[in-house]
């Protein structure tokens, strides 16, 4: 299995909703990442987990809450989002060593209304 699977593929939520994005990989990768990508912009790093511990939080607002329940799963909990949070949310994973390229999931396209 060489894939990173993200669900759902599309999500529309209101500003008062609570939702979660899910990411799963079975490649034995011990580093997992959340990125946000707006149209015609490069991906922006949000969070890095290494060995199931949060290693980097790029000053992301608390309305985004990551969780790494085990080495294969990564969640992103969403609450009280704003319309400007609408974007493509990409999960990625890699071996926890320097020099490894990421494998990206196909993303969740989020629209906040």
Partner 1 sequence: RKEVEQDPGPFNVPEGATVAFNCTYSNSASQSFFWYRQDCRKEPKLLMSVYSSGNEDGRFTAQLNRASQYISLLIRDSKLSDSATYLCVVSLGVNFNKFYFGSGTKLNVKP
Binding site for partner 1 (CB under 8 A): 30-31, 33, 41-43, 45, 48-51, 55-56, 88, 90, 94, 96-107
Backbone angles phi, psi at 83, to 5 degrees: -55, -30
Q: Between residues 80 and 96, which has the closer beta carbon with respect to partner 1? A: 96
Q: How far is the CB of 96 from partner 1 (least distance, A)?
A: 5
d(CA 67, CA 61): 15
Bridge-based pairing of strands 10-13 and 64-70 is: unpaired
Q: Between residues 1 and 97, which has the closer beta carbon with respect to partner 1? A: 97
Q: Between residues 30 and 79, which has the closer beta carbon with respect to partner 1? A: 30
């Amino acid at each position: 299995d060489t894939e990173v699977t993200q669900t759902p593929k599309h999500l529309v939520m209101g500003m008062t909703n609570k939702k979660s994005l899910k990411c799963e990989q079975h490649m034995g990768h011990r580093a997992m990442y959340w990125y946000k990508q707006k149209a015609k912009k490069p991906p922006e790093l949000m969070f890095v987990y290494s060995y199931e511990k949060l290693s980097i939080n790029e000053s992301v607002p608390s309305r985004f809450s990551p969780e790494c329940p085990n080495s294969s799963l990564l969640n992103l909990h969403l609450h009280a989002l704003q319309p400007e949070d609408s974007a493509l949310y990409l999960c990625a994973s890699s071996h926890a060593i320097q020099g490894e390229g990421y494998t990206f999931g196909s993303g969740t396209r989020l629209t906040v209304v």
